[in-house]
Amino acid sequence: MTKQVQQLDRVIIRFAGDSGDGMQLTGDRFTAETAQFGNDLSTLPNFPAEIRAPAGTLPGVSSFQLHFADHDILTPGDAPNVLVAMNPAALKANLGDLPRGADIIANTDEFTKRNLSKVGYAGNPLEDDSLKEWRLHAVPLTSLTVKALEGFDISKKDAERAKNMFALGLLSWLYHRPTEGTIAFLEAKFARKPEIAKANIAAFQAGWNYGETTESFSVSYEIKPATHQPGTYRNISGNQALAYGLIAASVQAKLPLFLGSYPITPASDILHELSRHKHFGIRTFQAEDEIAGVGAALGAAFGGSLGVTTTSGPGVALKAETVGLAVTTELPLIIVDVQRAGPSTGMPTKTEQTDLLMAMFGRNGESPVPVLAPATPSDCFTMAVEAARIALQYRTPVMLLSDGYLANGSEPWRIPEIDELPDISVRFTTEPNGEDGTTYLPYQRDPETLARPWAVPGTPGLEHRIGGIEKADGTGNISYDPDNHDTMVRLRQAKIDGVDVPDLTVDDPDGGARVLVLGWGSTYGPIAAAARRVRAAGHKVAQAHLRHLNPLPANTGEVLRSYDKVLLPEINLGQLAMLLRARFLVDVISYNRVRGLPFKAAELAAVIQDVIESD
Amino acid sequence: MTDTLNGKGLALIPRTDAKQTLKDFKSDQEVRWCPGCGDYAILAAVQSFLPDLGLRRENIVFVSGIGCSSRFPYYLDTYGFHSIHGRAPAIATGLAASRPDLSVWVITGDGDALSIGGNHLIHALRRNVNLNILLFNNRIYGLTKGQYSPTSEIGKITKSTPMGSLDKPFNPISLALGAEAGFVARTLDSDRKHLQSVLRQAAEHRGASLVEIYQNCNIFNDGAFDTLKDPATRDEITIKLEHGQPIVFGTGDKEQAVRLSPTGGVEVVPRAQVADSEILVHDAHNPDPSLAFALSRLDEPAFQHVPVGVFRSVDRPSYDHLLNEQVQAATTDKGTGSLADLLHGGDTWTIS
């Protein structure tokens, strides 16, 4: 039977199942095949905080969404074209996001009376008419897998567990994915259990063959590779990019990296990744708590390391006092906040942009710190290097605001050449800087950057004391002098205000737009995708995105004032809007949704259009 | 096997042949403790003992938290970091773990170390971070003007406890032993010779050393340790622990000895009532900390008997040593990290 092949320009697939079904792994493998094939892509994992919620229940559903295309795309997609539902819970939890006409591939083996009643289905939706508006492919994934693995010397349970590879094989056939990478991956993953490796590969191939032979799938799809700029690419998640950025910063600064960290979702993967690269001279320290994590990083910075701490919002709250100490001792330090839904424990696996004001102001006293935010998963690499540049050059703690969406999402990344990376090396002070040629003044400042010298223990003749008590300008000795305090407060502020950051650039391809849509952090993709839709519908809109939030680019006010309206979508209740209104007296229009999920492009396109049309 | 640097705890720290004196370690800052404070005696003892170590001054760092004692680093002409309340062990951990060539001292008090910073203290001890932690115990909050501390006796009347404090105090020695500390000692601000001898042993121990120093706060808790200082009482109370020696104290017909008790601990009995063979011989190097812990309980009820000296001194690899071993092992195994190789690792594809 010759099957029809249809050309598509883009597809959105969502794999959904029980959190024990291996959906994240399945999604990761499909992503790797897709990256290898050369499509542009963007991914969004969505998983429960519970490691193993009760099987078959709605809270236990884990999903992975992948958007891939023959052109440059910006988001993991609003609505899936295909849902792979491994059980009734996965169907029920995701059906609401599925537009009419989309494909559903459902594992019929799991649609038992018991599983159906667990999630409140009175009847079997695969057998009544309730799914008639979708294209349903009812496939007994589990039993087909078990049957395919009959000849293998493995338990029934192990055979059943390979059903995700059967599903992956089927989808790989459906979308013409290359299979070599997955086979090599399975061989490596189960190198110590060759029988399991062979079984998983057999299940994967059985899934592929099933697609080719079954009548349930009459069409397969081709999505041509995207045209990227020349270079070598890899797929990378935000947390991995951030970890690599920190390593690159250590190499480019010629300083050993010291990470002090306490495990916390969704930041722990940065700790895990850095722990694997000790041959770069990296020391990772899993501390007893968040405070010790940042404290150890600051102590290491005093000793001449590139000190880093990684955490999420609750951890930043705990670290605040130590960050204040870093502000006043003027030591370089990077605080990575992978933001998650709050307040308090909130929703640890869900994304949010609600820590901006905490990063800006969440300390006692006047304690300014630079604040940066990457725009996309791969941008986490660039901004980690940028955070190190600012921390080292200005001797200051720097807040780097990633979030759960960037951390776990992934996209293709053109790997930079090493010589494209900035040289951020610093020189320790080794000679006295006092006028008499013998004294060392730890708070004498560089006239341009206002940074103080950095003399590390072990340097003879420069013994000095620093600390949290106010210091006399120049000598650093304890001082309670009123005018000195006023001077020091202003100097610390002036130093941060003077941090060199690039201008804000505006994207207005048609020219003459009167509405600017502004964003920061992980909303870049959805905002840019929305702006494209609005332009495609014949409207004009300009887009700008802030990656430096403190200090703001020097031209920010000018940019804001040159548009009739400024729209600012944020996944918070208007935190950046508050700062911009206070600073520039511009009547920013906020759009806020705090659902723990990224914005959808269609949603933002409608909002932009509303703003353009309302007068 | 891992080299624990047994008995050569200062081996990784650069030394100087230049003659050092007390003056070299005095900073130009005016000392601002209350007149009569026990901290003066400790500062003088430390300044005059440091030259004996023969270490390069620039490789010595004093880190402190918050409290009266935490002003200490400002008065020493070494590197110093006066940090925030309770966090000195954490900050010092990062410094010591990344710089094995430094002699790192933590100066802390009973409130700083045992209340707000209790967590960092116990973890620094169990990790065996290469730190010398000097815990100035005056059994009161001084800098905040006289509230009871986690080492104050039950029923302490203070501004915050006008009807008496309710909570049982920590015994810092018992706590440190329970936290797996390898070196635990106690000494007294007024006994310079004993203080310096204990500090020397702490310095030479590679790994975490905890030294509890009884320190008199003459403003808010004056005389807290008078029975240990008064010639009329001190000999009957103070038990000077010396490694390898039978534990006996007091003089004449008041001489007493320590032996194993039937309840599983140790007890004080009149010397005349015990055979020599029954008297406990102090073994600071005993890998089992049980007897050291039992000795630490002799001042229960409070100050009936007070052992001073080195309770425990046992070598095991320090945290910085193990951490750097991992870095070296990874480098030997994989070669020095190449950034280009790292970035190009995993599945890549090229577009020309």
Tell me which chain A residues have a C-beta less than 8 angstroms from the C-beta of B346.
234
The answer to whether the CB atoms of B79 and A260 lie below 8 A apart is no
The answer to whether the CB atoms of A467 and B56 lie below 8 A apart is no
For residue A326, what is the nearest residue in chain B, using CA coordinates? B83
Q: Find the Cα–Cα–Cα–Cα dihedral A433, A437, A440, A443, rounded to 10°.
A: -40
Contact status of A442 with chain B (Cβ, < 8 Å) = no
Crossing angle of helices B118-127/A290-302, nearest 10°? 70
The answer to whether the CB atoms of A35 and B340 lie below 8 A apart is no
Chain A / chain B CB contacts < 8 angstroms: 205
Contact status of B24 with chain A (Cβ, < 8 Å) = no
The order of strands in the sheet holding B103-109 is A465-467, B79-82, B60-64, B103-109, B131-137, B209-214, B183-188, B306-313, B238-241
Assign residue A448 a region: left if phi > 0, alpha if psi is -120 to 50, beta otherwise?
Answer: alpha
- What is the least distance, in Å, from the CA of A228 to any CA of chain B? 7
The mean per-residue pLDDT over the stretch A92-110 comes to 96
Tens digit of each residue's pLDDT (9 = 90 or more) over A258-313:
999 999 999 999 999 999 999 999 999 999 999 999 999 999 999 999 999 999 99
Q: What is the distance between the terminal CA atoms of chain B, rounded to a whole angstrom?
A: 52
In this predicted structure, which of A165-179, A212-226, A364-378 has the lowest mean pLDDT? A212-226
Contacts of A199 (CB under 8 A, 6+ apart): A149, A152, A154, A158, A159, A162
The mean per-residue pLDDT over the stretch A462-477 comes to 97
Taking the C-alpha atoms of residue A314 and residue A339, their distance in angstroms, rounded to an integer, is 9
- What is the least distance, in Å, from the CA of A525 to any CA of chain B? 23
The answer to whether the CB atoms of A296 and B90 lie below 8 A apart is yes
Instruction: Report whether pLDDT(A342) > 90.
Output: yes
3-class state of residue A335 by DSSP: strand
Instruction: Report whether pLDDT(A51) > 90.
Output: no
For residue A442, what is the nearest residue in chain B, using CA coordinates? B79
The distance from CA A23 to its chain's CA centroid, rounded to whole angstroms, is 19
The answer to whether the CB atoms of B92 and A258 lie below 8 A apart is no
- List the one residue out of B183, B39, B173, B33 whose CA is nearest residue B114: B173
Contact status of A321 with chain B (Cβ, < 8 Å) = yes
Q: Find the Cα–Cα–Cα–Cα dihedral A110, A116, A117, A122, rounded to 10°.
A: -150
Taking the C-alpha atoms of residue A125 and residue A568, their distance in angstroms, rounded to an integer, is 42
pTM: 0.94
DSSP E strands in A262-332: the ranges are 283-286, 306-311
DSSP E strands in B189-276: the ranges are 209-214, 238-241, 248-249, 256-260, 266-270
- What is the least distance, in Å, from the CA of A326 to any CA of chain B? 10
Cβ count near A52 (within 10 Å)? 10
- List the one residue out of A388, A269, A262, A273 whose CA is nearest residue A322: A262
Residues 121-180 of B with CB under 8 A from A: 123
Contacts of A175 (CB under 8 A, 6+ apart): A11, A13, A34, A220, A221, A222, A223
- What is the least distance, in Å, from the CA of A601 to any CA of chain B? 28
The answer to whether the CB atoms of B90 and A295 lie below 8 A apart is yes
Residues 404-423 of A with CB under 8 A from B: 415-416, 418
- How do the pLDDT tens digits run along chain B, 352 residues long? 344 455 567 889 999 999 999 999 999 999 999 999 999 999 999 999 999 999 999 999 999 999 999 999 999 999 999 999 999 999 999 999 999 999 999 999 999 999 999 999 999 999 999 999 999 999 999 999 999 999 999 999 999 999 999 999 999 999 999 999 999 999 999 999 999 999 999 999 999 999 999 999 999 999 999 999 999 999 999 999 999 999 999 998 899 999 999 999 999 999 999 999 999 999 999 999 999 999 999 998 778 999 999 999 999 999 999 999 999 999 999 999 999 999 999 888 888 7
Tell me which chain B residues have a C-beta less than 8 angstroms from the C-beta of A415.
343-344, 348
Asked if A326 contacts A302 with a C-beta cutoff of 8 angstroms, the reply is: no
Q: In sequence order, which ranges of A412-505 are alpha helices (DSSP H)?
A: 482-497
Mutate to test the interface with A, among B78, B328, B351, B352 (most CBs of A within 10 A): B351
Give me the interface pTM, i.e. the ipTM.
0.97
Q: Given B81, B97, B336, which is nearest A285 (Cβ)? A: B97
Q: Given A260, A298, A465, which is nearest B80 (Cβ)? A: A465
Residues 90-109 of B with CB under 8 A from A: 90-99, 101-102
Contact status of B336 with chain A (Cβ, < 8 Å) = yes
User: Which tokens belong to A230?
Assistant: 């020349």
The answer to whether the CB atoms of A296 and B347 lie below 8 A apart is no
Please state, rounded to an integer, the average pLDDT across all residues of chain A. Answer: 96
- In eight-state DSSP terms, residue A269 is H
Q: What is the distance between the terminal CA atoms of chain A, rounded to a whole angstrom?
A: 59
pLDDT score, position A532: 95
The answer to whether the CB atoms of B99 and A458 lie below 8 A apart is yes
Tell me which chain B residues have a C-beta less than 8 angstroms from the C-beta of A256.
98
pLDDT score, position B3: 45
Asked if A249 contacts A384 with a C-beta cutoff of 8 angstroms, the reply is: yes
